[in-house]
Structure 1
Amino acid sequence: MTTTTDSYQRLEASLARARSELDAAEAQGLFCGLLCASGRVNETQWLSEIFEEGVDTDSAAVEACRKELNSLAESLSTALYSGDMELELMLPDDEAPLGDRTEALGSWCHGFLFGLGLGGVRQDEIRSPEVRELLQDMGEIARLNLDGEEGSEEDEAALTEIVEYLRVGVLYIAEMLQPLQAPPRLQ
């Protein structure tokens, strides 16, 4: 079984080899934001945000990274819309320094918000006050900076709670922006 930590490390290395400026957390957040915005993601649009202009898109490193990203996209599409609440945010493992994990969480939120905007969602058009509040919270989290702090047990617990809040919040946003279709019924 592949864990989210394994996937994070593998994608992080693949993005670095492909010379992407995005980290794994931001790439996942970007995809989730795009998917929540429209219910589907234009692969060309998503990949153009991950790979800088001028990157050799035919290189072996970029092709390997593209395969990793497509695998991520498939699993995220299922996780967001299956109704099983299986979404896991792609972040460093719990052994990484608190500052690194907080920075990755901020990158994830930045990617998500950018993806929503790129997908055409305008915050002023969102009717749900809960969704607006979640998006405001994500904006605040995206600006957090703990610069390598060790962190106490309370800080660790707080980060765990924030990650869970965001995980459930993203599922809620997905449901509000792209409601699950009711299963077909026999008439």
Structure 2
Amino acid sequence: MSEIKMPEFLTVESALKDSGLAVTPSELHGLLVGMISGGLSLDDQTWKPLIYDYTNDGMGWPDSAIKVGSAVFQCTVAELTAEKLALELLIPSEKESLMNRADGLSEWVNHFISGLGLVELKLDKTSDALKEALADLEEIARLGIDEDDDLEEQENLFEQIVEHVRICVLTIHAELGQQIHTDASKTVH
């Protein structure tokens, strides 16, 4: 089986813009990861109407945007359900300014939280670890870069924050997200 590869940020950005959609790659990926981590079904297309409602007033997307959105969804599912957990955030690359990357991370985190809301996350039934991870993400969503401070230090802090976001997301997904069950896990009696 071939490995599913996440489309490049600029490819996703171009497809979304060319389709007239007012959503960034970071926002789209954050929404999808939030919905998947919140327990969205992985076996059907229920993510599409939720995304359409949230990003395009309930109207469907053009084919080119659906194709890219589906690729992002499939790659995200593959990352979150693999034996070796990995999650690459679809945010601007290191070639971009720290300000652009920080804005992308903020968009990603805000939309991750929104994605959890779209699948109607009920916090009263969750663990303290999940609540703490969500509180951390809410705080991270409000962070900004101060252009007057040492940018090298902020660059290092930014990388630590990105890693903490991954850990928080994986914590939430581990508790609420669906896992793909393989035939090898079935027991024959």
Pairwise TM-score range, normalised by the shorter structure: 0.7 to 0.9
* Structure 1 position 2, deviation (Å): 9.6
Partner residue in 2 for 1:44: 49
Partner residue in 2 for 1:11: 12
SS of alignment partner, residue 38 of structure 2: helix
Partner residue in 2 for 1:185: 187
One-letter amino acid matched to 1:131: L
Partner residue in 2 for 1:86: 86
* Structure 1 position 83, deviation (Å): 2.6
- Go from structure 1 to structure 2 and tell me whether the alpha carbon gap of 1:31 and 1:2 turns closer, same or farther (over 3 Å shift): closer
Distance 2:103 2:27 in 1: 10
Distance 1:169 1:150 in 2: 27
Partner residue in 2 for 1:72: 72
One-letter amino acid matched to 1:50: T
- Go from structure 1 to structure 2 and tell me whether the alpha carbon gap of 1:145 and 1:64 turns closer, same or farther (over 3 Å shift): same
Matches within 5 A, 1:1-187: 7-40=8-41, 41-52=46-57, 57=60, 62-123=62-123, 125-146=124-145, 152-178=151-177, 180=179, 183-187=185-189
- Whether contact under 8 Å (2:50, 2:118) holds in the other structure is no
* Structure 1 position 126, deviation (Å): 4.3
- Superposed structure 1 runs of 4+ greater than 6 Å apart: 147-150
Distance 2:68 2:15 in 1: 8
* Structure 1 position 148, deviation (Å): 6.3
How many aligned positions are there? Answer: 180
Distance 2:103 2:146 in 1: 8
Name structure 2 gaps, 5 residues minimum.
none
Distance 2:18 2:76 in 1: 23
Distance 1:17 1:148 in 2: 32
- Whether contact under 8 Å (1:97, 1:150) holds in the other structure is no
Identity %: 23
* Structure 1 position 91, deviation (Å): 0.8
Residues 53-75 of structure 1, C-alpha deviations (whole Å, 9 max, x = no match): 5x6x47xxx22111100011111
One-letter amino acid matched to 1:160: E
Name structure 1 gaps, 5 residues minimum.
none
- Whether contact under 8 Å (1:100, 1:148) holds in the other structure is no
* RMSD over equivalenced CA pairs, Å: 2.6
- Whether contact under 8 Å (1:103, 1:144) holds in the other structure is no
SS of alignment partner, residue 93 of structure 1: coil
* Structure 1 position 168, deviation (Å): 2.4
SS of alignment partner, residue 145 of structure 1: coil
